[in-house]
Chain A
Amino acid sequence: MKPPALSFHKKPSEMSRRDFLKSGGAVATITLAQGVTLMAFGGQAGAMADPGKRWGLLIDVGKCTSDCTACVTACSTENGWQDTGHPETDAQWIRKVDLVDDATGHELSLPMMCQHCDDAPCIDVCPTTASFKRADGIVLVDKHICIGCRYCMMACPYKARSFVHEPVRGQKTYAPRGQGTVESCTLCVHRVDRGDSPACVEACGKTGNGAMMFGDLMDPESQISQALLNYPSLALRDDLGLRPGVRYQNL
């Protein structure tokens, strides 16, 4: 049986001055039940994955064009994955998907990557707990303990994960990757940790399309939360109830 869903609220007004100083700014208040609150204090502000945040993406398919692959190129450059001449097995952290409505001929194009599910099937099936979700909702592979069994690749309904078949040299120091492990979009965790947005979002903005928005889903004032509140959007394969952190508009 599933535990009841936790509701997350930030209540800075409830913090004492002492609590605030202790926390260094990173504070999450979790309401477990009526009248029962649990406050978690982060170490240094911004230095750790913050349980008071849930990072997400909002992709406006209406603004995404089929001839543009800026997000894919930016991801590849940022994280150091590229074609090795084996198109069937080459790593794809992010890919462009083109859709055609058979009835009308209407065409759509959208980027697909790890959807950073709240209830991620890749985490459920991982035999070594290498697949895990950070406190701020980013789903990652801990390659130190990944044995390359690829159960997570089978379990992922979005086909978001790749297996590295060839030996790798010259990796980015912040994005280690190697043969025999599974990898996927990290939501550019190294950039997020220093306060930047993912490389794909930045590249998409530079093209002028501005189809991708990154932000904190748990902050009701954030741009992404406001957009989700005011305009219709959907999660891919919502029927599976995985509650992804990536949502699509105009699809």
Chain B
Amino acid sequence: MKRLLVMLFLMLATLPAAAGGLAPVIPKASGKPHPEGNLFMRINHMKLMKHDRDQTVREGDREIGHSLKACIECHAVNGADGQPVDISSDKHFCRTCHDFAAVKVDCFQCHNSRPEAKSQVLILPRPGDTNDLAAYLEGAAR
């Protein structure tokens, strides 16, 4: 039974790759899930970050809900050396989707793409949730 489950998991894990990259493999985050839900964040993360960055830079408000720093801390992906990878690696959380969607990220021309306190949490990629992706594409088309 256990072996069957493992095999099933492996099949699912390799599904997006086998399907020729139909869905990006989104790495799992280490922190608490977004209360707004992943779908909301996928559609609106750039608006939230843009709004809150102005709050911090202009008003000096450091108690914001959506900072790039916080994104990077939870969504860090460790490379082979156990250290978080930077944006030059295609394993980087932001790149997994942005490469797939062919949308350029300018953030890391100035911002560090790795967390300050290097997280040692082992983060494994999970199979792409095709339902979520379909919903995202639907939302983006709206």
Q: Which secondary structure dominates where chain B touches chain A?
A: loop
B69 to A193, Cβ gap below 8 A? no
B112 touches A193 (CB 8 A): no
Given A173-B72, A173-B116, decide whether A193 and B111 contact each other with a Cβ distance below 8 A. Answer: no
The residues of A that contact B81 with a CB separation of less than 8 Å are: none
CA distance A172 to B62 in the complex (A): 16
Any B CB within 8 A of the CB of A142: yes
Contact B59 A49 (CB under 8 A): yes
Chain B residues 86-124 with CB under 8 Å of chain A are 86, 109-112, 114-116
**B111 / chain A contacts, CB cutoff of 8 Å:** 171, 173, 176, 178
**Interface membership of chain A positions 172-214, coded 1 if the CB is closer than 8 angstroms to chain B and 0 otherwise:** 1110111111000000010001100000000000000000000
**A136 is contacted by which of B60, B114, B115 (Cβ under 8 Å)?**
B60
B138 interface residue per 8 A CB criterion: no
Interface: B3 (CB within 8 A): no
Contact A135 B60, beta carbon cutoff 8 Å: yes
* Interface SS, A side: loop
B57 in contact with A173 (CB, 8 Å):
no
A47 & B61 in contact (Cβ 8 Å cutoff): yes
**B53 beta carbon closer than 8 Å to chain A:** yes
Question: Closest B-chain residue to A164, C-beta based?
Answer: B110
Q: Which residue of A lies closest to B116 (CB)?
A: A173
Q: Which of A167, A169, A177, A179 contacts B86 (CB 8 A)?
A: A169
Beyond A170-B114, A193-B60, 10 additional contacts (C-beta under 8 Å) are: A43-B61, A48-B59, A144-B54, A168-B110, A170-B112, A173-B111, A176-B110, A176-B111, A176-B112, A194-B62
A residues contacting B by CB (< 8 A) are 43-44, 47-49, 132, 134-136, 140, 142-144, 167-174, 176-181, 189, 193-194
B residues within 8 Å of A by Cβ? 53-54, 57-63, 69, 72, 86, 109-112, 114-116
